[in-house]
Structure 1
């Protein structure tokens, strides 16, 4: 990830990548090791994306969008459900019968979240923020994704300050684990 552009362009490009990963996972036979690899890649992308949004997008929504607190709280609740599903999928064998059920739940949650963000939150943010703010937020989101965790940590605090403090450390540990296990290559 790391596409360039303002925050809305950056996050929308992430959404398209995630949607493509969902499609690729669905196309792979259940017993294929490729399914596990794609699920790991999906998890990495979703976790990094969520951390960046929680650190930078949602505080901006709270600050700039009328009723932004309620919007941001709803999006963070969506993230919590997605992160728990990712945690439940983590380590599950590609041919586990429960995997497809959890995968469909995850896909449904993520697609609803994306639809809401793109048709509601992004529209309101673009209407209330100038291009300079959106560009700066895009840069901050890209930088946050570089150090963000790559594995779900549903118990970690999701406040922007706690996330900014804890995420780089969790991200480092996750990337070391990924390197050792070959996950995400």
Structure 2
């Protein structure tokens, strides 16, 4: 498996969790559970992606700006998660923040999949793509066990 497939698999999990959460109502146990899953997925994914995708690509001039942009978007997503944590889940403000988070995450994923992956695909050889995927997957698995 190459890094792009590994990242896409987690991107799909994030999209699904955001969709499910958007369809919940009130301060329910289901909303709490799905939000906890989403938050954990986004946080773990960001760390592993920065370590096993963005950082190695910083070596290439063509990818520096794209890497910085992706990392900056991770920070924006972290800030939106903090807003959600600080807001009552049963309030309309929580749903508003969730909508903003969904838009930000979906924009970020589209940026990566429709632009950055193509640039990275040209810069990395097959062996590098596979090694990065292995490191990413191993880190995600170890974080899952630790959580």
Using the size of structure 2 for normalisation, the TM-score is 0.91
1:102 to 79, 97, 101: 97
2:118 to 105, 113, 123: 123
Query: Alignment RMSD, CA only?
Result: 1.9
Q: Which has the higher helix share?
A: 2
Deviations 1:3-55 (A, max 9, x none): xx211000011111110111111222224220111011000111111000111
Deviations 1:121-174 (A, max 9, x none): 1111112211110000001111222344x8xxxxxxxxxxxxxxxxxxxx95xx
Counterpart for residue 58 of structure 1: 54
The separation in 2 between residues aligned to 1:70 and 1:31, in whole angstroms, is: 40
Aligned residues: 147
Structure 2 residue runs without a partner (length 5+): none
Matches within 5 A, 1:69-84: 69-84=64-79
Structure 1 runs (4+) deviating above 3 angstroms are none
Using the size of structure 1 for normalisation, the TM-score is 0.73
Matches within 5 A, 1:7-156: 7-64=3-60, 66-90=61-85, 92-148=87-143
